[in-house]
Amino acid sequence: MKSSLLSSILLVCFLPLLILAQSKEVKPKILIGGKTPREVLIEFKFQGFLALNDRHWQSYRRVFSLTDTNGDGRHSKEEYIVNGRYMTEQSRRGIFQASDYNKDGYVSAFEYFENRIITDEAKLIFEAMDQNRNGQLTRVEFMASKRIRDSKLAAAIFKALDTNGDGELVIPEYLRVWGKWARY
């Protein structure tokens, strides 16, 4: 009797929490050359949060605080896009949209840090493969970099990154896909 009462109490208390904890969005299974996005990033030796040191964290906090002019712990579109001082307004708009992962119209400190971590490391990987340093990564450069040892997998990854199918990757195109993979 006591154990069934205890089970009932636990069920009533924890069932709502389990329901809330479940993702309402069912993600479609994504495979790139037979690998999940996480497995692809591991192939690139992507480290994410593990690659950060104290200097990175301090820099991210400082930059976030400078743009958070009202001190509410989040960036509004006005603070980041309209009143931003760096890059073009179009670039700031793209970064804001990529960072606002929950699409609530604001970029929280966590969303900002996560986006910076993802994009900063992804840019380093891109630059390491861009042999002629022209800001474009061709299929030939990608394959020659040997970042991905399996040539069939490398070809599949390049094809998935090359969303416009022109045989070249530019940073915004690459980051849009990379960011989705890193958050998958």
Domain boundaries, the chain: 37-182
Low-confidence ranges of the chain (pLDDT < 70): 1-26
Backbone angles phi, psi at 137, to 5 degrees: -115, 110
Q: Give the predicted TM-score (pTM) of the model.
A: 0.80
Q: What is d(CA 64, CA 109) in angstroms, rounded to the nearest whole number?
A: 7
Q: What is d(CA 11, CA 62) in angstroms, rounded to the nearest whole number?
A: 45
Handedness of CA 157, 158, 162, 166 (dihedral sign): negative
Position 1 scores a pLDDT of: 52
Position 26 scores a pLDDT of: 67
Position 58 scores a pLDDT of: 93
Position 49 scores a pLDDT of: 86
Does 37-182 carry CATH code 2.102.10.10? no
Position 16 scores a pLDDT of: 52
Position 15 scores a pLDDT of: 46
Query: Residue 124 carries which side chain, given as an amino acid letter?
Result: L
In the chain, which ranges are E strands? 74-76, 106-108, 136-138, 168-170
Position 146 scores a pLDDT of: 93
Position 76 scores a pLDDT of: 97
